[in-house]
Amino acid sequence: MTDPEVVVVGAGPHGLTAAAALLGADPGLRGRLLVADPAPWLAGWDARFARLELPVLRSACVHHPAPAPYALLDWARARGRTAELTGPVGSPGTGLFADFCRWLVTRSGLAGARVPAAVTRLRPRDDGRVEVTVGRRRVRAGAVVLAAGGARPHVPVPRARHSDRVRLSAVRPGQRVVVVGGGLTAGHLALRAADRGARVLLVVRAPLRARLMDVDAGWLGRELPGYAALPPAERAAAARRARPGTVPAAVRDALLGSGSVQVRQGTVARTAPGCVQLADGATVATDHLWLGTGSRFDVRAHPVTAGLATDVPVEVVDGLPVLGPDLSWGGTRVFLTGGLAALELGPAARGLAGARMAAERYTEAVTGVAPARRQYPAPTRSAGAAAPAARVGSPVCPTSPACR
C-alpha cells in the first residue's frame, strides 16, 4: 500500500459525502484517496433501514452525498423515478436513495477506493502528515477525514432491546409490545408492530410533537451564526435542546388514530421479565420491550478518537470535541464529520445535511480548492462573532411548496 494523500475513515453516508466532495474539488486525488471501512459502502445505513422496514427517508431530496444539491432529483428525473420522492420536501424512498448512492460510488470512481479494514489509530506527526493504522498496515496521509459514525445507543431502561437490535419479524399477532420514545424510530416501530397484529403501548415522556424533519430547518442556516458565537458548553446545550423526539404529523396522526397503539405519557420505572412498571405505578405485561431512545456521541467512547485525544488533547464538552472552524482536530490534518462535529455544525451534524455542511468546511483545508458556492454559513470564530454576510442558502426542493 503506497501512502495515500487522503484517508477517509468510514464508508457510510458521511464517508461517501466526504470522498465525493474531495474528488469533486480536486479530481487529481483520484487514485490517491483511500476509504477505509471493513463494511461495504453504506452497509450500516442499508441494514438500519432494512431492519426497521423504513420505506422512505425523513430528510429532503436535496440532502444526499453528491456535491451538487439537485443531483438526486436530476438522477431520479432522468430515470423516471420522481414518484419515489414524496412528501412536502420530496423525501427519497429507501430504494431510490440506495440506488443513487451506488451510482455515485461508481460514477466517482470510488468502487476501488475502499480498503476493507478498520482504522485503529490516527497519530498526527510532526511533519504535518498523519500516521494511519489500517488493518495491519501503517500509512502516512496528508489528511484524514474521520467519518466513522460511532453513536452509542442510549439505553435508559434495563432488559429492553434498543432499536439498533430490534427484529420486527419476531412479533406475532396478539403479542404485547411496549415501545419507549417519542421520536420517529419509536413511532415507526409501534406502527410496524401493530401492522403485525400486536397490541402496542407507546410510552412517551411528553405529548407527541409533530415536526417534518428531526431538526428544524433554521439549523441549516439562520440559527448557525448565533450558535457559532456561543461558548462550547452553551452550544452543547442548544444542540441537545434542538433535538427533542419528534414525528412527522402523518405519523403522529397514524399513532393517535390506530386502534392497536395506545400512546401513554410517562416513564418506565422498573422492568422484570415479561413486565414493565411505569412511574405512575401501572404495571404492563409485555412480550417485547423496545427502546427508540436514540444514540449519543462521545469521543472518549470511540477507540480512534480516544487515542487521538491522548496524543493531541482538545477541549471536550458533553462528549463532543471542540474543533477548528474547518473541523480540524487540535490544528492537525485530521478532520471530523458526523455527530462528533456537532459543536461546530449544530444539531443537524449527524444527518445527511450535516455531512454536506461538514464537507463545505473541510474541503478547502484538505484540497486547497475553495468551494465555488457556499450553501451554509461558516463561522469566523476568532472575531467571536457571527459568520460573514456571504450569500448562503440551503437549496430547496423545487418540487415542494414547503421549501419555497
Shortest CB 116 distance to ligand FAD, Å: 9
Q: Which of 176, 188 has the CB closer to ligand FAD?
A: 188
Q: Which of 94, 328 has the CB closer to ligand FAD?
A: 94
Shortest CB 64 distance to ligand FAD, Å: 9
Residues in contact with ligand FAD by CB under 6 A are 9-15, 36-37, 39, 43-45, 48, 52, 57-59, 63, 118-119, 147-149, 185, 304, 338, 350-352
Bridge partner residues of 169 (DSSP)? none
Q: Which of 277, 400 has the CB closer to ligand FAD?
A: 400
φ and ψ at 182, to 5 degrees? Answer: -115, 15
Going across the sheet that includes 119-124, the strands are 119-124, 130-134, 137-141
Does residue 310 contact residue 121 with C-beta atoms inside 8 Å? no
Shortest CB 2 distance to ligand FAD, Å: 19
Q: Which of 14, 235 has the CB closer to ligand FAD?
A: 14
Q: Which residue is nearest to ligand FAD (CB)?
A: 12
Shortest CB 392 distance to ligand FAD, Å: 20
Q: Which of 41, 176 has the CB closer to ligand FAD?
A: 41
3-state secondary structure of 272: strand
Shortest CB 140 distance to ligand FAD, Å: 17
3-state secondary structure of 287: coil
Residue 362 burial (C-beta neighbours within 10 Å; 0-12, 13-18, 19+): buried
Shortest CB 389 distance to ligand FAD, Å: 28
Does residue 394 contact residue 374 with C-beta atoms inside 8 Å? no
Q: Which of 10, 377 has the CB closer to ligand FAD?
A: 10
Residue 192 CB contacts under 8 Å (≥ 6 apart), including other chains: 52, 53, 168
Does residue 161 contact residue 347 with C-beta atoms inside 8 Å? no
Distance CA 267, CA 157 (A): 10
Shortest CB 350 distance to ligand FAD, Å: 5
Shortest CB 293 distance to ligand FAD, Å: 11
Neighbours of 239 (CB within 10 A): 23
Q: Which of 43, 272 has the CB closer to ligand FAD?
A: 43
Nearest CA to 328 out of 145, 149, 148 is that of 145
Our measurement of the distance from residue 318's CA atom to the centroid of its chain's CA atoms, rounded to an integer in Å, reads: 18
Q: Which of 89, 157 has the CB closer to ligand FAD?
A: 89
All three cell numbers of 362: 473541510
For 52-96, the DSSP string reads TT--B-SS-TT-SSSSSTTHHHHHHHHTT-GGGEETTTTEEBHHH
